[in-house]
Structure 1
Amino acid sequence: MNEARIIDGQAFAAGLRQRIADEVAALKRDHGLKPGLAVVLVGEDPASQVYVRSKGEQTLEAGMHSLTVRLPASTTQDELLKVVGELNADPAIHGLLVQFPVPDHIDPLVIQSAIAPAKDVDGLNPVTIGLLASGQPALAPATPVGCMMLLEDALGDLRGKHAVVIGRSNLVGKPIAQLLLRANCTVTIAHSRTRDLPSVARLGDILVAAVGQPEMVRGDWIKPGAAVIDVGINRVPSRKPELAAQGKTILVGDVRFAEAKTVAGCITPVPRGVGPMTVACLLQNTLTAAKRQAGLPA
């Protein structure tokens, strides 16, 4: 039995970060332009702290200006909006994001709407979403951008392929559907309420699983030879009972990998698949934003 080719997102992301660093060096040399990324963290969420630290480190490694603004959980919505406004106006900052989740007393949509679309490297401002949907130049969320890069690297021309996206979030499902449409795919958006979801999934030459349910997509949901992009990152108890009893966990995707790899043509693993692409593509968005703001080809 043939097994699927593994799409190594970690290796691809490393190469992408190097290409970004080379472009940043050329921008500084030729135009005196140093792209800057600001990340605002409100509160003490442990996972968010890890993500923010990683973003900061990789931004610096790429030769960019990195600014992390840490605010206490007691920060009011108005206080956060004031910080966002100041960063919108800061010419040294070309990309801006607020790390979510934020405390319950802050409305995420209000904050997303306040980020200047030109600096919206998370692609969550409603204006950015509208630009993407209407086919205009826009900064798409980093994870979908990374998924598209992996697909195009693995498959080449995507024209005419039927892509099934399981998931309809503003962060992944909807934007990747828009990007697949731009690549001239036929796109079906499915979700947890779709009737006979396995049959719908089997239609896909490309299957993107972004539903946030551990190992929901089984091997028999996959069209033989399909390209499978597993966006899910779920922490579940260890497979080994003795380790699970100690509270040990493992990371799994939204696809049951052991089953899927015997059916798919190529597949992203979890970890080492889509995950490493997210920060790399955030840096790519920041580079693109800096070029556009300077009136340079992007």
Structure 2
Amino acid sequence: MTQILDGKALAKTIQAQLTAKVHDWTPQVGRPPGLAVIMVGDNPASAAYVRNKERACDRVGIASFGQKLPGDTPQAYLEGLIAELNADERVDGILLQLPVPQHINDVTLLNTIDPNKDADGLHPVNLGRLVRGEPGLRSCTPLGVMQLLHANGIDIAGKQAVVIGRSILVGKPMALMLLEANATVTVAHSRTHNLSALTRSADIVVSAIGRSHFLTADHIQAGAIVVDVGINRIETSAGQYRLVGDVDYEAVSPIASAITPVPGGVGPMTVTMLLHNTVLSYCQRMPALAHERGTLLS
């Protein structure tokens, strides 16, 4: 039987653990953890993501400092806003919702965020800490994948892993986290030749390319572990829309030993790791909680 890696259920469990910790720690510190999400413009998908994150903060007991700004907000204003949030003692995590309007330099803004408040784990300092194997805030989606594998008893050490996608958001940090867990890792991308031959040799395949049903049964060896990071919106014959992954789930799931569904797999874990990073930053910044830093995700 194929093992379904249920991210929705695991996310609920982890959020419940975070809720209990925040409830216990808030009286000690005198305030709850705080997350500031900056959204520029009126992208409908971004607005939905931000609402989802705010609701998750409410469930866990994290204070939200949302900043929803017009699409023509100047770069200089955003840099000043991030500087204010860096200095705000109520704020433990800062997230810039991507994408931003074309006139905004998102790299500059991401680099302006205090690395110790970098809830998305995308600052060069945190990526450098990942490369060096040092503690730090990790990229949310890859961290969510690692937690999903760990919680389901999947031993990564010694396995051959192929990551499809090389973005700084998922592909590169995903490869580094798998390598840190002692997998042998290959990163594939749009210019990789004979991809199916490569993926058929893998024990673990992680797809993060954003192409619906790209991975078929021909790409997967029997017994492989398949992690689908892709979220693609496609139109049905009835003129409605539904979400699908990069993996042809119906074709691949009978072959795989374990697989993530879309939706309900990696997506819920990404939001949960954002909450985790905010609470972890809170612990790191509060001397009263120094002894608690190793208890998250335990």
Normalising by the smaller structure, the TM-score range is over 0.9
Deviations, residues 140-164 of structure 1 (Å, cap 9, x unaligned): 1111111001111223432111111
Deviations, residues 38-88 of structure 1 (Å, cap 9, x unaligned): 001111111111111111111111011111011111100000001000000
Amino acid corresponding to residue 21 of structure 1 in structure 2 = T
Q: Is the 8 A contact 2:41 2:69 kept in 1?
A: yes
- What is the aligned-residue identity percentage? 44
Q: Which moved more, 1:122-131 or 1:262-271?
A: 122-131
Q: Which residue number corresponds to residue 263 of structure 2?
A: 271
Q: CA deviation at 1:31?
A: 3.8
Alignment: residue pair count? 290
Deviations, residues 264-284 of structure 1 (Å, cap 9, x unaligned): 001001011111111111000
Q: Which residue number corresponds to residue 74 of structure 1?
A: 72
Q: CA deviation at 1:122?
A: 0.7
Q: Which residue number corresponds to residue 296 of structure 2?
A: none
Q: Which residue number corresponds to residue 141 of structure 2?
A: 143
Q: Which residue number corresponds to residue 116 of structure 1?
A: 114
Amino acid corresponding to residue 282 of structure 1 in structure 2 = L
Q: Is the 8 A contact 2:40 2:68 kept in 1?
A: yes
Amino acid corresponding to residue 248 of structure 2 in structure 1 = R
Q: Is the 8 A contact 2:29 2:286 kept in 1?
A: no
Q: CA deviation at 1:133?
A: 1.3
Q: Which residue number corresponds to residue 216 of structure 2?
A: 218
Amino acid corresponding to residue 102 of structure 2 in structure 1 = D
SS in 1 for 2:152: helix
Tell me the distance in 2 between the aligned counterparts of 1:103 and 1:31: 38
Q: Which residue number corresponds to residue 199 of structure 1?
A: 197
Q: CA deviation at 1:33?
A: 4.8
Q: Is the 8 A contact 1:9 1:276 kept in 2?
A: yes
Q: Which residue number corresponds to residue 274 of structure 2?
A: 282
Unmatched runs of 5 consecutive residues or more in structure 1: none
Deviations, residues 166-189 of structure 1 (Å, cap 9, x unaligned): 111101111111111111111111
Q: Is the 8 A contact 1:209 1:230 kept in 2?
A: yes
Unmatched runs of 5 consecutive residues or more in structure 2: 294-298
TM-score normalized by the length of structure 2: 0.94
Amino acid corresponding to residue 44 of structure 1 in structure 2 = D
Q: How does 1:220-239 map to 2 (within 5 A)?
A: 220-238=218-236
1:261 aligns with 2:253: yes
Tell me the distance in 1 between the aligned counterparts of 2:78 and 2:139: 22
Q: Which residue number corresponds to residue 9 of structure 1?
A: 7
Q: 2:125 aligns with which of 124, 127, 132?
A: 127
Q: Is the 8 A contact 2:159 2:183 kept in 1?
A: yes
Deviations, residues 183-218 of structure 1 (Å, cap 9, x unaligned): 111111111211110011112111101111111111
Deviations, residues 220-267 of structure 1 (Å, cap 9, x unaligned): 2112111111000000111xx3x13xxx11111000101110110010
Q: Is the 8 A contact 1:219 1:262 kept in 2?
A: no
SS in 2 for 1:188: strand
Amino acid corresponding to residue 226 of structure 2 in structure 1 = V
Q: Which moved more, 1:71-80 or 1:146-155?
A: 146-155
